[in-house]
Structure 1
Amino acid sequence: MTWHAIFLCCCCMLHMLLLVTGSNSYPKNINIWPMPESVELGNKTVVISKDFNLKIDGTSKYKDKSGILKDGFTRLLDVVTSNNVIEYNFGKVDQSLILQGIHVVISSEDDRLQYGVDESYKLNINPKGNPNYAYIEAVTVYGALRALQTFSQLCHFNLNSRKLIVSQTPLTITDRPRFTYRGLLIDTARHYQPLPMIKKVIDSMAYAKLNVLHWHIVDEQSFPLEIPSFPKLWNGAYSRHERYTVAAAAEIVSYAQRRGINVLAELDVPGHARSWGVGYPALWPSKTCQEPLDVSNDFTFKLIDGVLSDFSKIFKYKFVHLGGDEVDTSCWVLTPRIRNWMKQKGLNESTAYEYFVLKAQKIALSHGYEVINWEETFNHFGNKLDKKTVVHNWLGGGVAEQVVKAGLRCIVSNQDKWYLDHLDNDWEMVYMNEPLVNITIPEQQKLVIGGEVCAWGERIDGSDIEQTIWPRAAAAAERLWTAPDKLAKNASDATSRISNFRCLLNQRGIAAAPLSVPGRAAPLEPGSCYFQ
């Protein structure tokens, strides 16, 4: 046996002792991920009743007509009871220590999910007065869903009693997110992701309180989405079996919305669009020079208008992502027709790129969207961008600082830390990446609306997407949710909690990779989940 194995074995035994030697034996550092704003603990343990139920308090304005809260409660019961067989013969247990259900009070009757929706909540378990119920207070149903996720992490199976328990009660948690935008990008253009896999990703995002699924649907390799206005576009899909109908896309949006997650659709133009021309060759500069999209052709912008019109019927989020990155304009110069058009317009390669991006922005704005663009657009002509533009940083550090100084909003995804397809970006690097680095003026800090981890799909398909995302995305989730003074000062201080969360994901059927390996590798050797 190696020294490493001996160490893991000893740590494993210690951890198991802490977890299973009694109903009050859980560590005082409570295992919640991401860490809430405020936690107050007691010293009692309550037992979850077999008839654990949901009650919407009579004072609540929200009546759950759409069933979002009920569905969230059903999912809570599923995840907390699925990993063990629970015994409910309580015998002479003190009745005040049996938790019968959750009372929920929501002050807003509006259940529309949009940018900036209030996700704050207060969770009280085993309080004085009525100790048999947990209480959730929230402004919106989405705050209540976040509270249910926290509650699910507080429930433990006790091996001595064979019951589901919550320790350290009375317990009061007050919580709210630090950033409004907490995203994860998936890429279905480089590899098609089946609908059930996208839904599993959405479920796992909800566990970590991420709230935006950035769906990079199409790219130069494939165009898998049905566009009714231009039905030949999905001729650019890899195959007939690797396509998303309008109904399927709407199902993804609805599925995410009921979990408090917005879907941000991306239409990356003018580069990354070669697949568009499979169905509509007129979009290519020429048959031999196939991207970026033809800037000189009115049909290009007519088609973009049609796509965004169809998008607006499916994707209800405030924003649409129009890409704008990595645009190689050499095909425009090499094609005589386009070169002559540019000359007539008084444009060169750089200003033609600007022309395209700004015209696409105007089209998106006409459909009621605000626009997100990759940072190259800001780097080349930031002062020309629409003032509602959100600049998406990815190339490196220092860009967010310049964006907010210019008065524009920013999303941080710098690739050296928050690109999950970079397998050498370990969870500690992800955790310590601070979106507000060198941004100290409060008015400018508010312009950083959040951040996003990106799982680009060149080497990700249905077989490995989950372990590429998790647990590293959880590190970013805490950075984006938790108040700065509650974040671990060093990533190593969060190791125990994120290890616990990783094992929790495994228990819930999410293939989260070990912490101790780079990216998505297998465990190095036998050992406890909690120490891998």
Structure 2
Amino acid sequence: MAIGSTKPLYTLICTYTLLLISALADARILGLNSTSESDESQVFLWPLPSNFTFGNGTISIDPDLSLAFYFNGDNSTVSTIVEEAFRRYKAIIFKHSSSFSKLRLTRDLPYDISELSIIVRSDKEELKLGTDESYSLTVAKGDDHSIVGGAKIEANSVFGALRGLETFSQLCAYDYVTKTVQVYKAPWYIHDTPRFAYRGLLLDTSRHYLPVNIIKQIIESMSYAKLNVLHWHIIDEESFPLEVTTYPNLWKGAYTKWERYTIEDAYEIVNFAKMRGINVMPEVDVPGHAESWGAGYPDLWPSPSCREPLDVAKNFTFDVISGILTDMRKIFPFELFHLGGDEVHTDCWTSTPHVKQWLQDHNMTANEAYQYFVLKAQEIAVSKNWTPVNWEETFNTFASKLNPKTVVHNWLGGGVCPKAVAKGFRCIFSNQGIWYLDHLDVPWDEVYNAEPLEGINDASEQQLVLGGEVCMWGETADASNVQQTIWPRAAAAAERLWSKRESISAGNITASVLPRLQYFRCLLTRRGVQAAPVTNFYARNPPSGPGSCYEQ
């Protein structure tokens, strides 16, 4: 009788001991045993939230965590976007779920968090530039019953709720001793909003074809870093892989008949991205970088031996551009459309007899014809309710002629965004010296320290900088290595674009930021993302020897 009565007590003591040992061990590993609660370097969240406080408690999460969803207090309406996101994140958080069925039979302690409440104030699910992505996240201590279920996300839009779910998932850590999911440093109170509306990644599928599933994996990984625009550079001089119904021979410019994107593929990518709060901005680069168009329609070439820029002298050229944009408008709802306009070499125009004659007839130089082409393409895009984005050469060459809605995309170097916003244009920052991911010798800290607002001090002009994007050009990247080329350096830019400037620019970033970035890189690998070590001299190189994921 005495032995029987002490057995539950013995089990309880053992359970508490295991919890304590495990918590101390994990705290030591993750650097969470600091006595300074204001030391942000000990907070392993990426990107760093705008405002947050935390405590020193450890709480457990029920593997049967349920979702309570409310639109303005009404729980009768369901958001498919939030429901599907909750299922995705639950699978990530509880990836060791096969262990839980047995564990629950012997576990005597109740879980601290059994329900996640998500409150969204608007039932609109339109995703566009400037959509409100702010959120608040509260994770209460186990003895705090003011939050029903123990955790709550509040947001103005479903897309803010998605960002809150990502942060919640990063707070959750699996304990291998107790075999439970825990949140350290509870309670957490987080109020978060992005610094920039546009936080992008360019993906080039022309230089090397990327299968749809690879593109979707990259989109998924973007959501982990809270990036929100996929700039899909679909077409270039090397290949034209996209189906265009109006001009069906265009995708004869694909490398092979197996390396193509159907209309259905494009729809699938756009919808997949929206479910993760990510817009897709397509790019059709004109008039240069378009040799592949002539594989299906040779009349688009100035001549068979001189194949780009596109023939400015023929109305057919602009009919094809209009047809492409008409078809693409049905697929891509995002208001920005990238028209390229970079690296236009006009030798073909001046050396091809019929184009040369056209220039003379219209009293144009080749440079003036370049301006004419870009402005005509802009006019077509605007007529289809798109806002044109152009690479900076168009601004550098004829800024005063550009459509005033134009978004100038910086890439050649610094100093362009200050000039563009001073003239009233909006700007996207992508300085190639630091944010081109195919430049493999650019280290993570240079990516991190790049500042989109550098040289812009006027508050009204700062508002014209939409944000920035890192660019994954595909000359030396395909499905075999694209993800380890993107990550983790893209995450460094992602935090620059999300977090408050004053929070991430102070102090020694090697001491305060590097441990968090290494932790995030390991989080990516645990989630199946092929992220390379952080501190390699060359990006995407494998480790140089044995060691912990957290110190590579």
How is 1:252-267 mapped onto 2 (pairs within 5 angstroms)?
252-267=269-284
Answer yes or no: is the 8 Å Cα contact 2:63–2:97 preserved in 1: no
Cα distance in 1 between the residues matched to 2:460 and 2:134: 22
Could you tell me how far 1:322 is from its partner in structure 2?
0.1
How is 1:40-439 mapped onto 2 (pairs within 5 angstroms)?
40-57=53-70, 59-60=72-73, 65=78, 67-82=80-95, 86-87=99-100, 88-89=103-104, 91-93=107-109, 95=110, 98-126=112-140, 128-130=145-147, 132-439=149-456
Could you tell me how far 1:60 is from its partner in structure 2?
3.6
Cα distance in 2 between the residues matched to 1:21 and 1:34: 22
Pair 346,42 (structure 1): closer, same or farther in 2 beyond 3 Å? same
| Matched position secondary structure for 2:446 | helix
Matched, 1:474 2:491: yes
Could you tell me how far 1:57 is from its partner in structure 2?
3.1
Cα distance in 2 between the residues matched to 1:449 and 1:157: 38
**Which deviations, in whole Å up to 9, do the C-alpha atoms of 1:303-332 show, x marking residues without a partner?**
000000001000110110000000001100
Could you tell me how far 1:43 is from its partner in structure 2?
2.2
Cα distance in 2 between the residues matched to 1:62 and 1:439: 45
Could you tell me how far 1:50 is from its partner in structure 2?
2.4
Please, which runs of 5 or more residues in structure 1 have no aligned partner?
1-15
- Of 456, 463, 472, which aligns to 2:473? 456
Could you tell me how far 1:86 is from its partner in structure 2?
4.5
Could you tell me how far 1:42 is from its partner in structure 2?
1.8
Cα distance in 2 between the residues matched to 1:20 and 1:40: 17
Matched, 1:531 2:551: yes
Cα distance in 2 between the residues matched to 1:63 and 1:282: 58
| Matched position secondary structure for 1:178 | coil
Pair 363,215 (structure 1): closer, same or farther in 2 beyond 3 Å? same
**Which deviations, in whole Å up to 9, do the C-alpha atoms of 1:228-252 show, x marking residues without a partner?**
0000000000000000000000000
Cα distance in 2 between the residues matched to 1:17 and 1:201: 35
Answer yes or no: is the 8 Å Cα contact 2:288–2:308 preserved in 1: yes
Cα distance in 2 between the residues matched to 1:443 and 1:231: 45
**Which deviations, in whole Å up to 9, do the C-alpha atoms of 1:13-51 show, x marking residues without a partner?**
xxx975266999566522000000111112222111121
Answer yes or no: is the 8 Å Cα contact 2:71–2:122 preserved in 1: no
Cα distance in 1 between the residues matched to 2:477 and 2:299: 31
Matched, 1:38 2:60: no
Matched, 1:520 2:534: no
Cα distance in 2 between the residues matched to 1:369 and 1:62: 36
In the superposition, the TM-score normalised over structure 1's length comes to: 0.94
Answer yes or no: is the 8 Å Cα contact 1:188–1:217 preserved in 2: yes
Answer yes or no: is the 8 Å Cα contact 2:71–2:121 preserved in 1: no
Cα distance in 1 between the residues matched to 2:310 and 2:25: 60
Answer yes or no: is the 8 Å Cα contact 1:42–1:171 preserved in 2: yes
Bigger mean CA deviation after superposition, 156-165 or 351-360: 156-165
Cα distance in 1 between the residues matched to 2:30 and 2:375: 62
Answer yes or no: is the 8 Å Cα contact 1:431–1:491 preserved in 2: no
Cα distance in 2 between the residues matched to 1:91 and 1:162: 10
Pair 18,346 (structure 1): closer, same or farther in 2 beyond 3 Å? farther
Cα distance in 2 between the residues matched to 1:26 and 1:199: 38
Answer yes or no: is the 8 Å Cα contact 1:61–1:109 preserved in 2: no
Pair 45,425 (structure 1): closer, same or farther in 2 beyond 3 Å? same
Code of the residue aligned with 1:116 in structure 2: it is G
Match of 2:520 in 1: 501
Cα distance in 2 between the residues matched to 1:42 and 1:342: 71
Pair 515,58 (structure 1): closer, same or farther in 2 beyond 3 Å? closer
Code of the residue aligned with 1:57 in structure 2: it is Y
CA-based RMSD of the aligned residues comes to 1.8
Cα distance in 1 between the residues matched to 2:77 and 2:234: 32
- Of 485, 509, 512, which aligns to 1:491? 509
Cα distance in 2 between the residues matched to 1:413 and 1:488: 19
Could you tell me how far 1:58 is from its partner in structure 2?
6.6
Code of the residue aligned with 2:406 in structure 1: it is T
Cα distance in 2 between the residues matched to 1:62 and 1:310: 39
**Which deviations, in whole Å up to 9, do the C-alpha atoms of 1:289-310 show, x marking residues without a partner?**
0000000100000000000000
In the superposition, the TM-score normalised over structure 2's length comes to: 0.91
Answer yes or no: is the 8 Å Cα contact 2:447–2:492 preserved in 1: yes
Answer yes or no: is the 8 Å Cα contact 1:193–1:462 preserved in 2: yes
Could you tell me how far 1:84 is from its partner in structure 2?
7.4
Answer yes or no: is the 8 Å Cα contact 1:319–1:371 preserved in 2: yes
Could you tell me how far 1:158 is from its partner in structure 2?
1.5
Pair 391,21 (structure 1): closer, same or farther in 2 beyond 3 Å? closer
Report % sequence identity.
48
**Which deviations, in whole Å up to 9, do the C-alpha atoms of 1:95-130 show, x marking residues without a partner?**
4x5200211110011011111100000000115413
Code of the residue aligned with 2:107 in structure 1: it is G
**Which deviations, in whole Å up to 9, do the C-alpha atoms of 1:361-388 show, x marking residues without a partner?**
0000000100000000000001110000
Cα distance in 2 between the residues matched to 1:393 and 1:58: 40
Pair 123,66 (structure 1): closer, same or farther in 2 beyond 3 Å? closer
Could you tell me how far 1:83 is from its partner in structure 2?
5.6
Match of 1:13 in 2: none
Cα distance in 2 between the residues matched to 1:317 and 1:220: 25
